[in-house]
Structure 1
Amino acid sequence: MWYTTSQQDQQSFAFAGYILEPDSNLCLITACDLGTRLNVTNGSVGLATLHPNLIATISDVIALDDRSSFYPSRLQHVPGPKFDHYLNLIDQGGLCLATWNVLTLNFPGAKSMLALELKRFGVAVAGVTEARLIGNDSEDISEGYHLIWSDDQRTKTNEVALVLDSRTRRSLLSYEQISDRILTAQIQHKHGKWTIIVCYAPTNQASDEVKDCFYAPLSSILEKVSPHDVLTLLGDFNGTVRDTDGVWNSVLGPVKPDCLNETRLRLLQLCNMHDLVITNILFQRKEVHKYTWYSNDGRTRKMLDYIIVSRRWRSSITNCRTYRSAELGNTDHRLVVSNLRLHLKAQKSDHRPPKLDLNNLTDSNTRQVYAVSISNRFDCLGQISESEEAWQLFKDGVLLLAESTIGRLKPRKNFLDIAGNSRYY
């Protein structure tokens, strides 16, 4: 906080986006709109009227004023991609996703090192936790990657970030920094939209209030996602799952949780509520390729970082494992990489018979035969008391007689002419 004790400053005024409000002998600086004009009731206020201590700190005030970090967050729209830039998620080999707790990106060269490691493993989209970058912003980093991050400017911890390669960046529709623990983005692909959520869950030692502040907004976001979207969650959920017997079959597949604590239980309940599947344990892997966190004692290891998808797109995940060779600073977490390739299946349509050939009714003989057939067929309808039964008999009879007397159109066959154009006959 900054204060002024001069009697000349005891009037409310605006300077560089901040208001000084008189309160006895002190004036507290509070944030206001940057567009506020610089004036007071008795005239303009200049630097000379400010307290010397306030003048010395005014540059720091302006530097710390990052409007995008104030919540509630705002949805950031980007220019819509052209159709040629839509992602093709059914390509051979698919697209690589990753999640990584890097502990910090707030040291020289960290962003470039992150880009190099992601490029080495062919990662197109990566969710980064504990980035520890200040403010809510986005920028291009090396190797063609684009970095978007979100944090709480008050604590400067628990930040999440999203890294996109150049191809995915062109397909980005919008992104939203929900909080310092949740960031969402929407990407356009050739068959629909892809919603990505980057998360950093509280640890088991956190209070229930902190956990509720994370899981309640996350659940609300998941409810708003369209069921047609490809949904992916990337991040550090601070909960472990292991191989034992099974209650959470729909969430974990063949792998079940062991010794559930509150954090693990919240994660599994969230997945079960919103039809999500944890992909880390869908495939048979060596133990060293499952664990994502290793303690400094060299013996304790856990699975904390997950790539989670909606159950509808479970078959689109073709691989998921950790890579021990990925290194960045002093992080004790491993890079988790998964392959996403959509498997689309055309819906089976009900077979419909060809339409009736109504052109045959232009022939007088055909019209007469049809009229006589209808008259003879439905002389007995007056004896039926139930209207539903009468309507069903009438409908079936008309269609049957029309098909036998009028006939149906022949189905058209498709062929290619000499020029390669599609024709019908």
Structure 2
Amino acid sequence: MLSKVARNAFVGWESHGSGIIKPSFKTKKEGILMHIIQCYAPTNDINDDIKDQFYERLQSIIEKYPRNDLTILTRDLNAKVGIYNTGYEDIMGRHGLVRGTKMERFANLRAFNKLVIGGTIFPHKRIHKTTWISPDHTTENQIDHICINKKFRRTMENVRTRRGADIASDHHLVVTKLKRKLKKDWTTGQTSLQRFNTASLRDTDRLNDFKIALNNKFQALQDLLKEEETTMEDNWKDIKEALTSTCQEVLGLKKHHHKEWISIETLDKIKERKNKKTAINNSQTRAEKVQHQLNTLKQTNKQRRALEPTRRNTWKT
């Protein structure tokens, strides 16, 4: 999902096989693109050959783009980073969590491409660094990262997790704030497409009003043509202006109404589950936290069962 500004700046996206996707956007700085490489890296228990192939594929993607472009590597990289940055001082801070024993591939990738780990630069509480919780709710790690190429390090103002965001996942949402802005219109001279409310012409009175207004505009054009010599291009521009201005005045623009497919009952269940996750985040003791996590799991299952019939009925219609 993209905001309006991001949609206007969107250049395109590429899929690079299993676990890697890359959208690109134009920035305010002329000629500089922002590439966001989202990936899901193999876990430590996966065969070494598969991990090597993944990082080789990732390297080939990164080196495709100009060094002047802003490159962000993000999502689940399955690599723990910590407070010890010896040998990596230029691309890593000292504000991570526990360092893993098998992060050499990730470390080498960062070092070779000068990618700075945003989550290690900014000091935060532990709860705002943790990005993943184990299925048994006993282990917490920092394995989701947002990395940015060193040239644009100063554009990054903050990186932290937002525990309140809830999509029934064992990962927390990781967000960053950048100074760099996207370009609103990535195609020079592009104008937004206007769609008029032509459905209103089904109303007899509105149809008559439209005919009268358009007839008056065309009559004025005919009188003008008798008085002045004009080219075919001028005539077309005048006709187009008469049509669009009449549609604007009489019909108005078409309004987009999103079809509501989630019932009020389901929305209430989603809200209830969100409240339960808030209770988890605010737990004072381990026992209290475990109890709230069990309640949340039950609520998640209820939510999925409630949402499935609504979703099926929507696709049928």
TM-score interval, normalised by the smaller of the two chains: 0.5 to 0.7
Return the TM-score normalized by structure 2: 0.53
Structure 1 residue 167: Cα displacement: 1.7
The alignment of Structure 1 onto Structure 2 pairs a total of residues equal to 179
Name 2:133's counterpart in structure 1: 294
Residues 277 and 314, structure 1, Cα contact 8 Å, conserved in 2 = yes
Structure 1 residue 293: Cα displacement: 0.6
Structure 1 residue 165: Cα displacement: 2.1
Structure 1 residue 274: Cα displacement: 0.3
Higher RCO, Cα 8 Å, sep 6+: 2
**Pick aligned residue for 2:76 from 193, 213, 236:** 236
Name 2:5's counterpart in structure 1: 167
Name 1:272's counterpart in structure 2: 111
Which structure is larger by alpha-carbon Rg, 1 or 2?
Answer: 1
Name 1:336's counterpart in structure 2: 174
Residues 96 and 120, structure 2, Cα contact 8 Å, conserved in 1 = no
Take 1:296 and 1:189, find their aligned partners in 2: how far apart are those partners? 39
Name 2:166's counterpart in structure 1: 327
The one-letter amino acid paired with 1:302 is N
Take 2:44 and 2:125, find their aligned partners in 1: how far apart are those partners? 27
Take 1:248 and 1:260, find their aligned partners in 2: how far apart are those partners? 15
Structure 1 residue 260: Cα displacement: 4.3
SS at the partner of 1:269?
A: helix
Residues 1:207 and 2:47 aligned together: yes
Please identify, of 292-301 and 314-323, the stretch whose mean Cα deviation from structure 2 is larger: 292-301
Q: CA RMSD in A?
A: 1.8
Name 2:234's counterpart in structure 1: none
Residues 1:186 and 2:36 aligned together: no
Structure 1 residue 296: Cα displacement: 3.5
SS at the partner of 2:72?
A: strand
Structure 1 residue 284: Cα displacement: 0.6
Residues 117 and 146, structure 2, Cα contact 8 Å, conserved in 1 = yes
CA distance 1:277–1:259, shift in 2 (3 Å): closer
The one-letter amino acid paired with 1:249 is E
**Pick aligned residue for 2:63 from 185, 207, 223:** 223
SS at the partner of 2:17?
A: coil
Structure 1 residue 258: Cα displacement: 5.3
Structure richer in helix, relative to its length? 2
SS at the partner of 2:63?
A: helix
Take 1:229 and 1:245, find their aligned partners in 2: how far apart are those partners? 26
CA distance 1:257–1:225, shift in 2 (3 Å): farther
Residues 323 and 335, structure 1, Cα contact 8 Å, conserved in 2 = yes
Take 1:276 and 1:296, find their aligned partners in 2: how far apart are those partners? 30
Take 1:245 and 1:339, find their aligned partners in 2: how far apart are those partners? 23
The one-letter amino acid paired with 1:285 is H
1:122-170 Cα deviation digits (max 9, x unpaired): xxxxxxxxxxxxxxxxxxxxxxx3xxxxxxxxxxxxxxxxxx2222122
The one-letter amino acid paired with 2:3 is D
Take 1:177 and 1:166, find their aligned partners in 2: how far apart are those partners? 23
Structure 1 residue 259: Cα displacement: 5.2
Structure 1 residue 243: Cα displacement: 1.5
Report 1:26-45 matches (<5 A): none
| Amino-acid identity (%) | 32
Which runs of 5 or more structure 1 residues have no equivalent in the other structure?
A: 1-144, 146-163, 344-425
Name 1:73's counterpart in structure 2: none
Structure 1 residue 295: Cα displacement: 1.9
CA distance 1:306–1:245, shift in 2 (3 Å): closer
Structure 1 residue 299: Cα displacement: 2.9
Structure richer in strand, relative to its length? 1
Take 2:136 and 2:149, find their aligned partners in 1: how far apart are those partners? 36
Structure 1 residue 214: Cα displacement: 1.0
Residues 243 and 256, structure 1, Cα contact 8 Å, conserved in 2 = yes
The one-letter amino acid paired with 2:45 is Q
**Pick aligned residue for 2:124 from 285, 295, 302:** 285
1:359-379 Cα deviation digits (max 9, x unpaired): xxxxxxxxxxxxxxxxxxxxx
Take 1:260 and 1:332, find their aligned partners in 2: how far apart are those partners? 19
The one-letter amino acid paired with 2:180 is L
Take 1:341 and 1:289, find their aligned partners in 2: how far apart are those partners? 21
Take 1:224 and 1:320, find their aligned partners in 2: how far apart are those partners? 26
Take 1:236 and 1:260, find their aligned partners in 2: how far apart are those partners? 15
SS at the partner of 1:249?
A: coil
CA distance 1:223–1:213, shift in 2 (3 Å): same
Residues 96 and 129, structure 2, Cα contact 8 Å, conserved in 1 = no
Structure 1 residue 280: Cα displacement: 0.8
Take 2:12 and 2:26, find their aligned partners in 1: how far apart are those partners? 10
Report 1:100-119 matches (<5 A): none
Structure 1 residue 234: Cα displacement: 1.5
Residues 1:247 and 2:87 aligned together: yes
Residues 198 and 233, structure 1, Cα contact 8 Å, conserved in 2 = yes
